[in-house]
Amino acid sequence: MAFVTRFAPSPTGYLHRGHAYAALTAYTAAQNAGGRFLLRIEDIDVTRSRPEYDAAILEDLTWLGLSWEEPVRRQSEHLGDYHAAIEALRARGLVYRCFKTRKEIDIGRAPHEPAVPYVGAPLPPDEEAERLDRGEAFAWRLSLAAAREALGGFETLTLIEEGAGPNGETGLIQARPETAGDIVLARKDVGVAYHLAVVHDDALQGVTHVIRGCDLFEAAHIQRLLQALLDLPTPTYRHHGLLVGPDGKRYAKRDKAQTLRELRASGVTATALREELGFS
Ligand code: GLU
């Protein structure tokens, strides 16, 4: 069977050790399976993505010894695809305009309380028309209620996890898209949200195995729902553990000293880093 996987970073900062581990995990899996490895630049969030980070990703991964198929897909070049997918969902009554701000949604929530998943409904047509006339900003949200009705329930939404979620979830998993509430599929400032673009591109690029950090395990539940609604295939998932630093904390974009460029500048070789991460 064909094996296609990908590394899909967002160019919102320099790659660090954690990214190197994730990229090497996917790359090595493709090699071991005699499969294909793709690099996808997830730059739909124009408020946070920067071209210099995009260029640095290619440079850092090349330094690390990785190669990938060309051309690299850049999501910002395909916004029309994602809008068409949202439009298809809209035509079926699966998404609605939400004019609420995060602040309004969070009214009454104490700062220490976790954000409650938002579940709403479309506004009455005249009120919606009025707000649109006034030029008020809105987000497109996926209606869980409409999705449930369209699919006759969520029971058939299962996925295969070959790795593990953060709590050891593995094997055949029942997707729980309802825990996220009515997710935002598009915002005014960021035309498309991450989930829709990922699901669209994984299907378009024929990705058979989604190999990524287990911080994205919950995302798979939502993505599984979108696959069902858009009639797209479900890849096999392989979430891996996250690399942690000596302090027991996972690496993040703010750990400047751990970026691949800094490591390289301080004399660390790609071979040494690969070995340290368990890839020789
Ligand atoms: N672009 C996402 C990120 O950088 C990862 C997407 C994915 O692997 O599904 O967190």
More confident residue, 212 or 107: 212
Angstrom distance (rounded) from CA 9 to CA 44 = 11
* Section 229-244 average pLDDT: 95
Structure tokens at 220: 């798979």
DSSP-assigned letters across all residues of 173-224? EE--GGGG-S-EEE-SSSSS-HHHHHHHHHHHTT--EEEEEGGGHHHHHHHH
155 Cα–ligand 1 center, Å:
26
| pTM tops 0.85 | yes
Task: Specify the pLDDT at position 237.
Answer: 98
Q: Can you read off the two tokens belonging to residue 278?
A: 């368990």
Pocket test for ligand 1, best of 194, 196, 215, 240 (most atoms within 8 A of CB): 194
Rounded to 5°, the CA angle 211-276-35 comes to: 30
CB count, 10 Å around CB of 32?
9
Cα 16 to averaged position of ligand 1 atoms, centre (Å)? 14
pLDDT one-digit tens code per residue, 63-73: 999 999 999 99
Mean pLDDT along residues 105-131:
88
CA neighbor of 214 nearest in space, from 168, 151, 270? 168
Whole-number Å distance between alpha carbons of 78 and 46:
13
Contact 118, 139 (CB under 8 A): no
Could you tell me whether strands 184-186 and 158-161 are parallel, antiparallel, or unpaired per DSSP bridges?
A: unpaired
User: Which residues lie closer than 8 Å to 219 by C-beta, 6 or more apart?
Assistant: 194, 195, 198
Position 154 pLDDT exceeds 90: yes
Return the pLDDT at 53: 97
Q: Which residues form the pocket of ligand 1, taking CB atoms under 6 Å from any ligand atom?
A: 8-10, 42, 198, 212, 216
Type of residue numbered 156: T
Task: Note the pLDDT of residue 79.
Answer: 93
- Atom index in ligand 1 nearest the CA of residue 12 equals 4
Give 54-112 pLDDT, tens digit per residue: 999 999 999 999 999 999 999 999 999 999 999 999 999 999 999 998 788 888 777 77
Nearest CA to ligand 1 atom 2: 9
